[in-house]
Amino acid sequence: MVRLTLDLIAKNSNLKPRKEETTSRYLKKITHINFSDKNIDAIEDLSPCKNLSVLYLYDNRISQMTNLNYATNLTHLYLQNNCLSCIENLRSLKKLEKLYLGGNYIAVIEGLEGLEGLRELHVESQRLPLGEKLLFDPRTLHSLADLEFLLNKLMKLWRMDLNGNPVCLKPKYRDRLILVSKSLEFLDGKEIKNMERQFLINWKASKDAKKISKKRNSKTKDASNSY
């Protein structure tokens, strides 16, 4: 087992402590930690790293998101290609802007409600059992409807990648997400151009107007038949 500990961070940091500087003061100065592809399987308490903003832990063997809720200044979190099966302990990360979780074993996208500053969400290519689909909390809704619900809450999200997940095969998947999110600029690596969004907005407005007109005509017809 290889655990990400404060001792390990101190020994491998590019930032060297000054002479007679205490370990706690030294750890406070660290802003970036890179332990990608180091066979890390667990994260210990990182709370002394109070200024930590970028954490690279991709290509490891981490199975649980532990002790990350103390890293309240974190803005970038890279956890792609690990052994994660759920999203947890992130709600206190109010400053988190970019979250990379692709290539894990996550079946349900949840626990993102507190991430008010989230701008990029990457959950592409989850390694799920054959026939199992990526779902979005609450589980009672269909995955695309869940995703629309989630996007309404993440108002700063501008980039999202869901490539390789079954939700991408849903009818009008891209159109529906573009319509529900005003902030989204890139979806699955493809730019959302203003012309595309405006076309969809106009198309929906026209469709809605036709529905309203149809209802009015139906009511008028029913009223005339009642006399």
**pLDDT for position 93:** 92
**pLDDT for position 60:** 97
pTM over cut 0.85 = no
Residues 6+ apart with CB under 8 A from 2: 38, 39, 40, 41, 42
Q: Which residues of the chain have pLDDT under 70?
A: 14-19, 137-143, 219-227
Q: Both tokens of residue 131?
A: 């026939």
**pLDDT for position 226:** 58
**pLDDT for position 140:** 43
Q: Both tokens of residue 6?
A: 């404060």
**pLDDT for position 175:** 92
**pLDDT for position 16:** 64
DSSP assignment of the chain: -EEE-HHHHHHH-SSPPPTT--HHHHHHH--EEE-TTS-EEEE---TT-TT--EEE--SS---S--S-TT-TT--EEE--SS---S--S-TT-TT--EEE-TTS---EE---TT-TT--EEE--S--PPTT---EESSTTS-HHHHHHHHHHH-TT--EEE-TTSGGGGSTTHHHHHHHH-SS--EETTEE--HHHHHHHHHHHHHHHHHHHHHHHHHHHHHHHHT-
The Cα–Cα gap between 55 and 4 comes to 11
